[in-house]
């Protein structure tokens, strides 16, 4: 074979594998072609096959070789970055789905190196950290050690009200967004305490969270929870979601967790300052403003549009929904065992099914 030319059979095989989208084979064959010819057109084919095959280190080397030959690689580099990002995001999603949380953390770090910080990366890292075996060790390794409080509870149980009220404590940082527990790793320094509102799927792992994270768990009459968005709208909290939340709470309580406090929504709205005093005593917090006046400092929060003085108008609201009794009979038939346990444990009265 003459130097600088590739054998026709080799070219045919490379083209055939490319047409078949057999990228590992195409990459291998185009590397042989490019090694023989050194032609930019063949290097471009090699670069494309390498990206498709996920061979990013090789693609980077090919890109450098093209640049040395005078090829403008700006668009190629952009294409490579997009391909790396897509492959990394797919890998991260797969790892999270498979429960490979430590591997996901490693992949997230690598992805952030070339893609830069983003909300997408932060949320996945929070998730992976929350489920990882290394969370406790990582928390202990931080130079600052604030009191960490994860505000938990089923949706429509008062988690939004409670996280807003936590801003009434002095030197306490509040993260108002729903976040996975791994968010404690990125909480800012300089505060005595950090309070974060739980993610809507945190019940999946809350029983396994380390004691380095305190759980401030709010509960509410289950009928009010499931009736919170009934009427002319679909139910917001479905019975299955409530059952999963209740199961997580039961597991936490069965585990004898010490760094935890339970609050009833009904007590919070009836005596907010009394509940605040108990929270302050539990975690050694300093009260800056009474919970009953929390609405005075919510102007700069995401919940400013619903801030108002605490009242008890929503307690027992399920009784005021026309036609709701029949619906609740069906709910009780579906999750009656969990409802009975919950009612006995937290002193709620349930309507007996018809």
CATH code of 185's domain: 3.40.50.300
Instruction: Report CA 9 to chain centroid distance, whole Å.
Output: 52
Same domain, 199 and 225: yes
Residue 312 domain-assigned?
yes
Contact of 321 with 223, CB cutoff 8 Å? no
- Cβ contacts of 306 within 8 Å, gap of 6 or more: 160
Same domain, 310 and 171: yes
Same domain, 156 and 282: yes
174, β-bridge pairs: 195
More reliable by pLDDT, 232 or 349: 349
**What's the pLDDT score for residue 305?**
55
**What's the pLDDT score for residue 231?**
45
Same domain, 189 and 95: no
Q: What percent of the chain has pLDDT over 90?
A: 59
Q: Tell me: the pLDDT tens digits for 57-102?
A: 888 899 899 999 899 999 988 888 888 888 899 999 999 999 999 9
Residue 279 domain-assigned?
yes
Residue 328 domain-assigned?
no
In the Cβ-directed half-sphere of 269, how many Cα atoms lie within 13 Å? 19
Residue 347 domain-assigned?
no
Same domain, 89 and 33: no
Quick one: residue 99, left, alpha or beta (phi over 0 = left, psi -120 to 50 = alpha)?
left
**What's the pLDDT score for residue 48?**
87
Same domain, 153 and 299: yes
Same domain, 104 and 28: no
Report angle CA 117, 121, 127 to the nearest 5 degrees: 145
Q: What percent of the chain has pLDDT over 70?
A: 91
Mean pLDDT, residues 267-296: 96
Give the ranges where the chain is alpha helix by DSSP (H): 8-19, 23-37, 40-53, 56-68, 74-98, 101-115, 119-131, 135-141, 159-165, 222-227, 239-254, 265-270, 272-283, 324-346
342 pLDDT above the threshold of 90 = yes
Question: What integer best gives the mean pLDDT of the chain?
Answer: 89
Same domain, 113 and 152: no
- Cβ contacts of 259 within 8 Å, gap of 6 or more: 211, 212, 213, 214, 215
Q: Tell me: the pLDDT tens digits for 24-54?
A: 898 899 889 888 888 889 988 988 888 888 8
Mean pLDDT, residues 103-132: 93
Contact of 128 with 96, CB cutoff 8 Å? yes
307 pLDDT above the threshold of 90 = no
How far apart, in whole angstroms, are the C-alpha atoms of residue 319 and residue 233?
A: 17
Q: Tell me: the pLDDT tens digits for 66-78?
A: 999 899 999 988 8
Mean pLDDT, residues 10-26: 90
Same domain, 160 and 279: yes
Same domain, 264 and 173: yes
**What's the pLDDT score for residue 212?**
97
For residue 266, CA distances in Å to 2, 60, 156, 312, 347 come to: 87, 61, 13, 7, 11
Mean pLDDT, residues 152-178: 95
Range in 5-9, 44-48, 163-167, 208-212 with the lowest mean pLDDT: 5-9
What's 156's DSSP letter? T
More reliable by pLDDT, 305 or 50: 50
**What's the pLDDT score for residue 302?**
66
**What's the pLDDT score for residue 3?**
47
Residue 327 domain-assigned?
no
Q: Tell me: the pLDDT tens digits for 183-233?
A: 999 999 999 999 999 999 999 999 999 999 999 999 999 988 887 654 444
How far apart, in whole angstroms, are the C-alpha atoms of residue 198 and residue 257?
A: 18
Residue 326 domain-assigned?
no
> b/e map of 334-349 (b: 16 or more CB within 10 Å)?
ebeebbeebeeebebe
**What's the pLDDT score for residue 310?**
85
258 band by pLDDT with thresholds 50, 70 and 90 = very high
177 pLDDT above the threshold of 70 = yes
How far apart, in whole angstroms, are the C-alpha atoms of residue 214 and residue 123?
A: 20
Residue recorded with tokens 């579906």: 334
Mean pLDDT, residues 166-185: 96
Contact of 230 with 184, CB cutoff 8 Å? no
How far apart, in whole angstroms, are the C-alpha atoms of residue 291 and residue 167?
A: 9
Total domains, the chain: 3
How far apart, in whole angstroms, are the C-alpha atoms of residue 41 and residue 38?
A: 9
Residue 55 domain-assigned?
yes
Same domain, 54 and 119: no
Residue 333 domain-assigned?
no
Q: Give 229-238's long-range contacts (Cβ < 8 A, gap of 24+).
A: 229/156, 230/321, 230/324, 230/327, 231/321, 236/155, 236/156, 237/154, 237/155, 237/156
How far apart, in whole angstroms, are the C-alpha atoms of residue 60 and residue 37?
A: 19
Burial of 6 (0-12, 13-18, 19+ CB in 10 A): buried
Three state DSSP letters for 160-223 = HHHHHHHHHECCEEEEEEEECHHHHHHCCCCCCEEEEEECCCHHHCHHHCCCCCEEEEEECCHH
For residue 152, CA distances in Å to 157, 166, 201, 316 come to: 9, 13, 11, 21
Structural domain of 87:
81-131
Same domain, 256 and 155: yes
SS3 call for 29: helix
**What's the pLDDT score for residue 260?**
97
């Amino acid at each position: 074979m003459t130097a600088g030319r590739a054998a026709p059979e080799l070219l045919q095989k490379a083209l055939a594998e490319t047409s078949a989208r057999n990228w590992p084979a195409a990459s291998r064959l185009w590397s042989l072609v490019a090694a023989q010819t050194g032609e930019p057109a063949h290097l471009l084919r090699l670069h494309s096959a390498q990206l498709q095959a996920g061979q990013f280190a090789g693609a980077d080397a090919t890109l450098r070789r093209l640049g040395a030959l005078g090829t403008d690689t700006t668009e190629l580099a952009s294409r490579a970055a997009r391909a790396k990002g897509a492959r990394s995001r797919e890998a991260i999603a797969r790892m999270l789905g498979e429960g490979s949380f430590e591997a996901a953390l490693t992949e997230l770090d690598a992805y952030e190196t070339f893609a830069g910080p983003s909300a997408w990366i932060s949320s996945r890292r929070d998730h992976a950290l929350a489920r990882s075996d290394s969370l406790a060790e990582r928390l202990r390794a931080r130079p600052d050690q604030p009191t960490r409080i994860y505000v938990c509870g089923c949706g429509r149980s008062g988690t939004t009200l409670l996280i807003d009220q936590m801003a009434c404590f002095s030197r306490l940082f509040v993260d108002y967004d729903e976040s996975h527990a791994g968010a404690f790793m990125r909480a800012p320094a300089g505060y005595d305490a950090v309070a974060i509102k739980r993610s809507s799927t945190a019940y999946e792992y809350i029983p396994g969270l380390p004691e380095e994270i305190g759980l401030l768990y709010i509960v509410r009459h289950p009928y009010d929870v499931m009736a919170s968005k009934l009427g002319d709208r679909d139910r917001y909290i479905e019975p299955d979601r409530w059952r999963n939340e209740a199961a997580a709470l039961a597991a936490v309580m069965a585990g004898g967790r010490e760094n935890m406090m339970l609050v009833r929504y009904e007590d919070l709205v009836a005596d907010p300052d009394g509940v605040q005093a108990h929270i302050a005593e539990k975690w050694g917090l300093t009260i800056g403003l009474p919970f009953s006046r929390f609405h005075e400092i919510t102007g700069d929060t995401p919940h400013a549009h619903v801030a108002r003085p605490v009242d008890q108008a929503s307690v027992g609201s399920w009784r005021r929904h026309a036609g709701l009794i029949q619906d609740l009979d069906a709910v009780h038939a579906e999750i009656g065992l969990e409802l009975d346990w919950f009612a006995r444990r937290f002193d709620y009265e349930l309507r007996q099914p018809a």
